[in-house]
């Protein structure tokens, strides 16, 4: 799967639902996956990350926005690297902490404000854009980017990142993933 041909949008009705959507994504992730979060302040990026952390077996209470340290690491079923690039002034700051080692490690890496480093992102990742619709509602736009594959524990190639994310998005769209509240997949947007 290449580029932006498998984009899907979901309207989340609440913080709880955004966290559930993220938590359900965790079972589709594999070591080395990268998720790039994009959106304005208060749009739900950290809320989503907390749900993902729970899905990976980390404590939601541990998840804080690492605004002043650029990166935090959480341990669950898989390690979760959490980058927050809000205060990033130059790519050099990331290079000093060896960000590429984290991006290409066996951990799940989530990058808030990923649009600040478009040229430094790996070949394959899930881009997730957040848009504030109302006080509680958020539009989440999922776009698998690239064609890279990950290696399984025994060294065999697994499905491509795009294939795994496409399965998750399809399951959401077909309502195979159960959430506590109704949600709208691929809502009609005004031009």
Each residue's pLDDT tens digit, 37-80: 999 988 999 899 999 999 999 977 777 765 567 888 899 899 99
Over residues 121-172, the pLDDT tens digits come to 888 888 999 999 999 999 999 988 876 544 444 444 455 666 767 777 777 7
- Helix (H) or strand (E) holding 160, with range, is strand 157-160
Domain residue spans of the chain: 8-185
pLDDT at 121: 87
Residue 124: both structure tokens together: 């394959």
Whether the pLDDT of residue 2 is over 50: the answer is no
- The DSSP call for residue 113 is T
Superfamily for 8-185? P-loop containing nucleotide triphosphate hydrolases (3.40.50.300)
For 112, counting Cβ atoms within 10 Å of its Cβ (0-12 exposed, 13-18 middle, 19+ buried), the class is buried
Residue with the bigger pLDDT between 149 and 184: it is 184
Q: Is the pTM of this model over 0.85?
A: no
CB 55 within 8 Å of CB 25 = yes
């Amino acid at each position: 799967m290449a580029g932006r041909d498998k984009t899907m949008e979901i309207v989340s009705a609440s913080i709880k639902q955004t966290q559930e959507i993220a938590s359900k994504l965790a079972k589709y992730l594999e070591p080395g996956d990268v998720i790039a979060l994009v959106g304005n302040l208060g749009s739900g990026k950290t809320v989503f990350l907390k749900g993902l952390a729970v899905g990976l077996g980390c404590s939601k209470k541990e998840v804080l926005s690492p605004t002043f340290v650029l990166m935090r690491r959480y341990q669950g079923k898989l390690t979760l690297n959490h980058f927050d690039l809000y205060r990033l002034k130059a790519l050099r700051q990331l290079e000093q902490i060896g960000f590429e080692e984290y991006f290409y490690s066996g951990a799940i890496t989530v990058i808030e404000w990923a649009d600040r480093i478009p040229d430094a992102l790996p070949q394959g990742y899930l881009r997730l854009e957040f848009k504030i619709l109302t006080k509680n509602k958020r539009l989440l736009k999922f776009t698998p980017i690239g064609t890279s594959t990950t290696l399984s524990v025994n060294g065999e190639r697994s499905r491509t990142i795009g294939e795994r994310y496409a399965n998750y998005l399809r399951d959401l769209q077909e309502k195979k993933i159960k959430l506590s509240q109704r949600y709208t997949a691929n809502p009609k947007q005004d031009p």
